[in-house]
Amino acid sequence: MADSYASSRNGDVMSTVSNGGPNGSSPSLVPTTNTAGAGSTSNVIRKKLMGYVGFANLPNQVHRKSVRKGFQFTAMVVGESGLGKSTLINTLFNTTLYPPKEPLPPAAERPKTVAIESIGADIEENGVRLHLTVVDTPGFGDFVNNDDSWKPIVENIESRFDSYLEQENRVNRSKIVDNRVHACLYFIQPTGHSLKQLDIEFMRRLHTKVNLIPIIAKADTLTDEEVAEFKERILADIAHHNIHIFQAPTYENEDEETIAEAEEIASKIPFAVVGSDKLVDTPDGRQVRGRAYPWGVVEVDNEEHCDFVKLRQMLVRTYMEELREYTNDVLYENWRTEKLLSMGVAQDSSVFKEINPAARLQEERVLHEAKLAKMEAEMKMVFQQKVQEKEAKLKQSEEELYARHKEMKDALEKQRADLEDKKRKIESGRPLTPEKSSTTRKKGFLRT
């Protein structure tokens, strides 16, 4: 029995039918009518394959390539000290990534800044290799003043983006290492009230750069009713501050079981978990991973006790690839766009764009006319400026000439007045220069 498919000229119909012929002797074109649209019809051509072609094996090829290449995943854990971050990571991946921590003595010096520590491990399960990197943030939220506790974490995430962008811009890109953070497990202290200001500020700063997965740590310290109320308050705070957390994606044409599974996972967010990598005995004689208390045993892998199974299902078993894709296609691309725009790199809108030649000529003509008009305006402005400068220079020269003419005229008038005065003195018989008349009188007795 051969397979066949139906393709539409509009590319909007694709179906699978069965070839009823014994050998599928020849391809046949069967025109049909598509009445899916309201009052619109289109001819559909059904092409029957003559036999098995093999492109149905493409998923198997991708699977073999992925298994051969292996996978990379980077998870970041953020939260205050003592919330069980290391224990939960060991429980999630069923391996000892973090050795048991020894408490610091009271006299030991405490760190004053948030540190960034990375631990890498190669894990293999059923022939599938995973290079897991866990980024820890010791010191977060442990200080008296935690105003800027989020800054080292944001800088670390952005530095990983910078490193990946630098690798993309290399000439040889055959060995690109993806060390971007694909998921951030944010541990919330089980207060039972609501999110603290530090929690809100941290998630506001990071929700556009990493997939946030809120986790209520040590959920065994709360009752079921307190957990439910605490989750409602956390989701209300997240919605009020427009914080985007990772949601299980849904796709078209999925079966009901997959849709129900995605809805169930989404209903558990934020996950109330209990971490433990130790085996304890239950009252019925079973050995399970959990914590033993005088009132009973909390089982880690029991969905009635905590949400650990749903967290592992979303993070590892079902949506690990979606976390990687969303990081690459959305979070990294948005950061990359902002980074390149801030560096002055702009995308040419004409690239990959169908252009009508007549419209392109008209556009070029308009641009050329605008360029000529601009040049003409600039030439007119330069000409007017030159004319104004020339007029100012001529006016200044005219004023200087007028001042010299007036000065020479005044000098001539003065000379003329002096000559007229001398002429009158000559005509009247008077000397040109007055003589000094000195009357010398003899001293003595007066005679009568």
Mean pLDDT per 10-residue section of the chain, whose length is 448 residues: 41 40 42 44 67 84 86 91 86 79 68 80 88 88 79 92 90 86 93 89 92 92 91 93 87 83 88 88 87 88 89 88 92 91 74 69 90 93 92 91 91 91 82 53 48
* Confidence (pLDDT) at 351: 58
Burial 93-130 (b: 16+ CB within 10 A, else e): beeebbeeeeeeeeeeeeeeebebeeeeeeeeeeeeeb
* Confidence (pLDDT) at 354: 62
Sheet holding 279-281, edge to edge: 279-281, 287-293, 296-299
In a domain, 366, yes or no: yes
Count the domains in the chain. 2
**The residue type at 80:** E
Q: Are residues 289 and 379 in the same domain?
A: no
Q: Are residues 139 and 252 in the same domain?
A: yes
Rounded distance, CA 242 to CA 236, Å?
A: 10
**DSSP state at residue 99:** P
Rounded distance, CA 251 to CA 273, Å?
A: 28
**Which are the contacts of 91, defined by CB distance < 8 A and separation ≥ 6?**
275, 276, 277, 289, 300, 308
* Confidence (pLDDT) at 149: 84
Rounded distance, CA 206 to CA 243, Å?
A: 9
SS3 348: coil
**Which are the contacts of 195, defined by CB distance < 8 A and separation ≥ 6?**
188, 233, 234, 237, 238
Q: Which tokens sit at 362?
A: 């008209």
- What's the distance, CA 413 to chain centroid? 88
Q: Is the pTM of this model over 0.75?
A: no
Rounded distance, CA 344 to CA 124, Å?
A: 44
For the stretch 427-432, contacts whose Cβ atoms lie closer than 8 Å and that sit 24 or more positions apart, written own/partner, are: none
In a domain, 441, yes or no: no
Only one residue has tokens 């959990």, namely: 290
In a domain, 162, yes or no: yes
In a domain, 21, yes or no: no
Q: Are residues 238 and 376 in the same domain?
A: no
Domain that holds residue 378: 360-412
Q: Are residues 160 and 205 in the same domain?
A: yes
